[in-house]
Every structure is written in C-alpha cells, then in structure tokens.
Amino acid sequence: MAKTAVYPGSFDPITKGHLDIIQRACQIFDKLIVAVTNNPQKNHAFTAQERISLIRESLGQNSQVEVDTFSGLLVDYLKSKRAQVLIRGLRAVSDLEYEFQMASMNRHLYSEVETVFLMPGEDYTYLTSSIVREVAALKGDLKKFVPASVEKALKKKFA
C-alpha cells in the first residue's frame, strides 16, 4: 500500500526551502500532496490559484507530487485524502514549540496522524515566505530564494 503524506502551508510564495522539503519528503513517501491553505481571512500576496500554479511550475513534471488546496481543519483534509502522515518543516529551534503544539493538537483531533519533521538544507534555514515578500517589495535580488517563475511573479506583483 502506497504511503501518502501531506505537506500543508500557505506557500505565499513557494521558496527554495519549501522545494527542499518537498524533495526530502519524496525520498521517504510514495506520494506527497502539497496542500495550499485557502484562508480568505489572511492577506496573501497571491491567490490560492496563483500559488498552486507557481508550485506546479516550480515542481515541473513530478508525478509523485499532487498540488491541492483546502480550507478548514487540516485533520479533516487528511481524512478526506486517507493520509495519515503530515510533513512539517523545521528551520530553527524557535519553530519547534509551535510545531510541537500543532502536532499534539492534530493527534488529539485525529489519533491516526503522525507528524514528520524535516529540516531543510542549511542554505534555507533562515528562509521564510514573508522575508521573501519583503525583499521583493524592496526590489531586492530573489534568485537565491525562489525559482525563476516565482521571481518573475513577485517582480510583477510588487512592480
């Protein structure tokens, strides 16, 4: 039976750090669903559909990865996809407390879920989507942080 994992997030925008986590997860699991949160109460730079398109462009032809969107409780989404593994990236020790709380709550809500924490390569431990948006807004160089298609979309967004 194929093992499916879900990697949820806003991916606003997807960064090379996210792509590193996706690559690492694909080495462990048969199928990975990159699940884009669709929370209309948040002020995203890109719409959910734009984020999905940017992720697909960034991944290229990877039949192991499905890109989807969801709203509501993550555990409900996991159940709907029959997935029992949740992927979360840890950049620094400061991420651990929040991620531990979320993993505990998710397990409380869905006892069959296991959270797997993956660390990106050290080149990406400082990288967040919010920092990338700030650099883009200030017209900084984005090449080291995001794929070319995302860089182009950010430049257009913050022109």
- Of 90, 73, 63, 77, residue with least CA distance to 35: 77
Most distant CA atoms of the chain, gap in Å:
48
pLDDT for res 2? 73
CB contact at 8 A, 74 and 8: yes
Identify the active-site residue in 31, 91, 152, 157: 91
Residue whose structure tokens are 């993956």: 118
Q: How confident is the model at residue 86 (pLDDT cuts 50, 70, 90)?
A: very high
Identify the active-site residue in 42, 82, 143, 156: 42
pLDDT for res 39? 82
Q: Which residues have C-beta within 8 Å of that of residue 30, sequence separation ≥ 6?
A: 2, 3, 4, 64
Q: Which residues have C-beta within 8 Å of that of residue 45, sequence separation ≥ 6?
A: 12, 13, 133, 154, 157
pLDDT for res 93? 80
Identify the active-site residue in 10, 24, 44, 129: 129
For the chain, the structural domain boundaries read 4-157
- Of 62, 113, 60, residue with least CA distance to 83: 113
Structure tokens at 117: 């924490």
pLDDT for res 95? 82
pLDDT for res 74? 96
- Higher model confidence: residue 92 or residue 159? 159
Which CATH architecture fits 4-157?
Answer: 3-Layer(aba) Sandwich (3.40)
CB contact at 8 A, 55 and 33: no
pLDDT for res 129? 94
Q: What is the pLDDT of residues 120-150, one digit of tens each?
A: 999 998 899 999 999 999 999 999 999 999 9
pLDDT for res 1? 63
Whether 92 has a pLDDT exceeding 90, the answer reads no
- Mean of pLDDT over the chain: 94
Distance CA 123, CA 145 (A): 9
Identify the active-site residue in 18, 24, 44, 133: 18
Q: What is the pLDDT of residues 57-69, one digit of tens each?
A: 999 888 999 999 9
pLDDT for res 105? 97
42 is catalytic: yes
18 is catalytic: yes
Q: What is the pTM of this model?
A: 0.94
